Amino acid sequence: MRENRQPIRALLILTALTVGIITLFMSLNVRGQWDFILTFRGTKVLTMALVGYAIAVSTVLFQTVSHNRILTPSIMGFDQLYILIQTSLVFTIGSAGLTALDPRLLFAFNVGAMVVFSTALYRWLFSGSSRSLHLLVLVGIVFGVLFRSLSSFMQRIIDPNEFVVLQDRLFANFNTIDSNLLGIAVATILIASFFGWRLMHVYDVLALGREASINLGLDHGRIVTVILMLVAVLVSVSTALVGPVTFFGLLVANLAYGIAGTHKHRFVLPVATLLAVICLIGGQLILERVFAFDTALSIVIEFVGGIVFLALLIRGVAR
Amino acid sequence: MIEISNVRKNYGDTIVVRDVSLQIPRKGITSIIGPNGAGKSTLLSMISRLLPLSAGTVTVDGLDVTTTPSDVLAKRLSILRQDNRVGSRLTVRDLVEFGRYPYSKGRLTAEDRAQAARAIGFLGLEALADRFLDELSGGQRQRAYVAMVLCQDTDYVLFDEPLNNLDMKHAVGMMKLLREAADALSKTVVLVLHDINFASCYSDYIVAMRDGTVVRHGSPQEIMTSEAIREIYDMEVEIQETQGRRISIYYT
């Protein structure tokens, strides 16, 4: 049973690593009040775990549904939509107005807009024929370009000072998290995960392809729509919480397939989640201790993720 | 019995299958033959709910395929398409065990595993059971997919060009196997075939399609005549009878 031992061993090692890195993150260089430090860092750890989970699970599920290991939800115009929403907000009500807004309201607005957009897109496209997933991805890319053009247009004409405020919002940031938002985010993701968990047995079948899964009795169109909505909720919550991290999902999902050595989702999903949490917390640790906050975590992740993306593309071409 | 009545499929103005009505009898092998673009695969896809119908109805043992829940049909009817490409890395056993999904919903019982082992044995894949699919030859992989479909244990088994990519030894092996599935396991096997000689030698019933309609249907004796082949394929062929089977000579 060579294929059964590897994923379990991978899971154990990764769990140990995760616990280790969280302990390190919580205890390194503590000066002053422990209870303050623990709450302060605990919030960060919780945020990163949540974001890691959301991105890992959403990317793996998205890749299962699209039968493609290079696509991620971000390619569907998600990140660009987030940037467009932020830009429009700064453009219309200004950075002062934005700061005055209730953050919970803003969060709900961000999540709502992204879920509505993606669900509308899927609904519209999935009423068509079987090849529409490719169409969906293409439309996603086109929408992404459209959103980006609109955003850069608005960014050109706003006040340079406003632009600086805006730019700050467009990089993933784990340092300034509102704990009220965190609570809402945790609740939303728990609810989405509950539905996702109940579909656990479906994912492996879905990976066989559309025709094979219909043959095995799945209501393919409906299940794909449900999964894409779950993905939309997960990605929206994580993006609205910390900002866009485009290549991160791609990085952890592909590492997870390799490390787990199997495609069974009950192994791949937790492995991807643990990897994501380790990467985020480890990255943040390096950011805080080595670079002394001089850069943003997303820059580190995008750099590594971009290289992996290129490597995947080149290997795919070579094969 | 599979009952097809007034089934049509069109993409815009292009009609692929036009108002086909047909009854496919229970038990035995029914082959659908015809030239490229006759609508054979499309018809098979519609019977197996992979493709929505533009008009008409298809019922399998009285169950309408468009309205019956997919998981109910999955216990009655299975289909194997010609191009099977699995993205994930699976062993033969993993793949075959997926055939039990309609019953187990992912929680395999001992009975499910035994059934999978029987299907693997039926296809002679015991030695390859723990190999990964991408380590197999085309013929072995094809057999693994057939094992999965048989493991699904449905009364109706549909195959779209099961002989694709098989050399003559494996093609004959596959047809013998399907014959055995029909006889020993008393299944209703429906095939789309390109080689009319295989259809002639192994089928109980042949349906001939051309330009989206059924032009002829009947026993191999009735279909395997020069006149019928001319009508179906627009081609002059010579029919010879050897060992009680009709073979068409169409190579020259």
Mean pLDDT by 10 residues, chain A (319 residues): 70 88 80 77 86 91 81 76 84 79 81 81 60 68 87 85 77 68 86 90 86 85 84 84 76 84 86 90 81 69 75 62
Q: Is B234 exposed, middle or buried (CB count within 10 Å of its CB: 0-12, 13-18, 19+)?
A: exposed
- Assess whether B61 and B102 both reside in one domain: no
Owning domain of residue B68: 1-76+156-218
Q: Which residue has the tokens 């990089």?
A: A171
* Nearest residue on chain A to B73, alpha-carbon basis: A217
CB-based contact (8 Å) between B84 and chain A? yes
Element (H, E) at B217: strand B213-218
Q: What is the largest CA-CA distance in chain B?
A: 55
CB-based contact (8 Å) between B74 and chain A? yes
Amino acid present at A179: S
- Assigned domain for B112 exists: yes
- Assess whether B37 and B138 both reside in one domain: no
- Assess whether B66 and B95 both reside in one domain: no
Q: Which residue has the tokens 């009950």?
A: A266
Contact B166, B139 (CB under 8 A): yes
Q: Which residues, in sequence order, are CB contacts of A56 under 8 Å at separation 6+?
A: A249, A252, A253, A256, A269, A272, A273, A275, A276
CB-based contact (8 Å) between A161 and chain B? no
* 8-state DSSP, B124: T
Average pLDDT of adjacent 10-residue blocks, chain B of 252 residues:
89 88 89 89 89 88 88 89 73 88 85 87 85 83 88 90 84 89 88 90 90 89 87 86 84 76
Measure in Å the smallest separation between the Cα of A89 and chain B Cα atoms. Answer: 42
- Assigned domain for B240 exists: no
pLDDT in tens, B56-89: 899 988 889 888 888 888 888 999 887 777 766 7
- Assess whether B71 and B113 both reside in one domain: no
- Assess whether B31 and B70 both reside in one domain: yes
Element (H, E) at B221: helix B220-223
- In chain B, what residues touch A200 (CB-CB under 8 Å)? 106
* Cβ-nearest to A214 among B49, B84, B91: B49
Number of domains chain B is built from: 2
Element (H, E) at B115: helix B110-122
* 8-state DSSP, B39: S
Q: What is the pLDDT of residue A171?
A: 67
Instruction: Give the separation between CA A32 and CA A3, rounded to whole angstroms.
Output: 49
Q: Which residue has the tokens 């001992």?
A: B110
User: What fold, for A2-318?
Assistant: ABC transporter involved in vitamin B12 uptake, BtuC (1.10.3470)
- In chain A, what residues touch B102 (CB-CB under 8 Å)? 216-217
User: Is B78 in Cβ contact with A217 (below 8 Å)?
Assistant: no
- Assigned domain for B4 exists: yes
Q: Which residue has the tokens 């533009």?
A: B54
Instruction: Give the separation between CA B35 and CA B57, rounded to whole angstroms.
Output: 24
* Cβ-nearest to B50 among A67, A200, A211: A211
Q: Which of A319, A208, A197 is nearest to A263 (CA)?
A: A208
Which of B105, B138, B153 is a domain's end point? B153
- Assess whether B3 and B113 both reside in one domain: no
Q: Which of B113, B184, B190 is nearest to B159 (CA)?
A: B190
Instruction: Give the separation between CA B120 and CA A178, rounded to whole angstroms.
Output: 57
- Assess whether B166 and B138 both reside in one domain: no
What are residue A305's phi and psi, to 5 degrees? -60, -40
Token pair recorded at residue B195: 């080689």
- In chain A, what residues touch B48 (CB-CB under 8 Å)? 214-215
For chain A, where are the alpha helices, taking DSSP H only?
A: 2-27, 34-66, 78-100, 103-126, 132-157, 160-169, 179-198, 200-206, 210-215, 220-242, 248-260, 265-289, 297-318
DSSP string, A93-126: HHHHHHHHS-HHHHHHHHHHHHHHHHHHHHHHHH
- Assigned domain for B238 exists: no
User: Is B74 in Cβ contact with A217 (below 8 Å)?
Assistant: yes
Contact A83, A148 (CB under 8 A): yes
DSSP string, A258-300: HHH-S--HHHHHHHHHHHHHHHHHHHHHHHHHTSTT-S-HHHH
- Assess whether B140 and B40 both reside in one domain: no
Global pTM value? 0.84
Q: Which residue has the tokens 């989405």?
A: A192
Q: What is the pLDDT of residue B235?
A: 85
CB-based contact (8 Å) between A219 and chain B? yes
- Assess whether B30 and B148 both reside in one domain: no
Which of B114, B135, B153 is a domain's end point? B153
Q: What is the ipTM of this complex?
A: 0.85
- Assess whether B131 and B195 both reside in one domain: no
The domain ranges of chain A are 2-318
- Assigned domain for B229 exists: no
Vertex A24 angle, CA A295 and A182, to 5°: 65
List the single best residue of B44, B53, B101, B154 to mutate versus A (max A Cβ within 10 A).
B101
- Assess whether B20 and B48 both reside in one domain: yes
Quick count: other Cβ atoms within 10 Å of Cβ B188?
A: 23
- Assigned domain for B241 exists: no
Residue B74, helix vs strand vs coil? coil
Which of B98, B131, B153 is a domain's end point? B153
Instruction: Give the separation between CA B24 and CA B96, rounded to whole angstroms.
Output: 27
What are residue B153's phi and psi, to 5 degrees? 55, 55
* Cβ-nearest to B74 among A69, A210, A216: A216
CATH number at residue B204: 3.40.50.300
- Assess whether B177 and B197 both reside in one domain: yes
- Assigned domain for B248 exists: no
